[in-house]
Amino acid sequence: MNSDTPGAIPHGEDAVSLLTGQHRRLEALLKALVDSEDGGERNALLSQAGDELAVHISAEEQVFYPAVRALRTEDILLESLEEHLSLKRLLADLLELSPGEETFAPKCKVLEEQARHHHEEEEEHLFPAVRRRMDASDLQRLGRAVHEHEAGLQAAGRPREDVRNQTDAAAPLT
Ligand SMILES: [Fe+2]
Ligand SMILES: [Fe+2]
Distance of CA 39 from the midpoint of ligand 2 (Å): 28
What's the pLDDT at 10? 47
Task: Determine the distance separating the centroid of ligand 1 and the alpha carbon of 37, expressed in angstroms.
Answer: 28
The helix/strand/coil state of 25 is helix
Q: In this structure, are residues 79 and 170 in contact, taking their beta carbons and an 8 Å threshold? A: no
Q: What residue ranges do the domains of the chain occupy?
A: 15-160
pLDDT at 1 over 50: no
Q: Indicate which ligand has the atom closest to the C-alpha of 62.
A: 1
Please give the share of the chain, as a percent, with pLDDT higher than 90: 90
Nearest to 25 by CA among 53, 61, 46, 47: 53
The rounded mean pLDDT for the chain is 93
Q: What is the CATH number of domain 15-160?
A: 1.20.120.520
What are the Cα distances from residue 36, in Å, to 23, 56, 63, 100, 129?
A: 20, 23, 33, 12, 37
Average the pLDDT over 92-107 and give the result.
Answer: 97
pLDDT at 116 over 50: yes
Expressed in angstroms and rounded, the spacing between residue 8 Cα and the centre of ligand 1 is 27
Calculated CA dihedral for residues 31, 32, 34, 39, nearest 10 degrees: -160
Residue 84: closest CA among 21, 169, 174, 145: 169
In this structure, how many other beta carbons lie within 10 angstroms of the beta carbon of residue 161?
Answer: 14
Residue 110 near residue 90 (C-beta atoms within 8 A): yes
User: pLDDT tens for residues 130-159?
Assistant: 999 999 999 999 999 999 999 999 999 999
SS (H, E, C) 43-62: HHHHHHHHHHHHHHHHHHHH
Measure 76 CA to ligand 2 centroid, in angstroms.
12
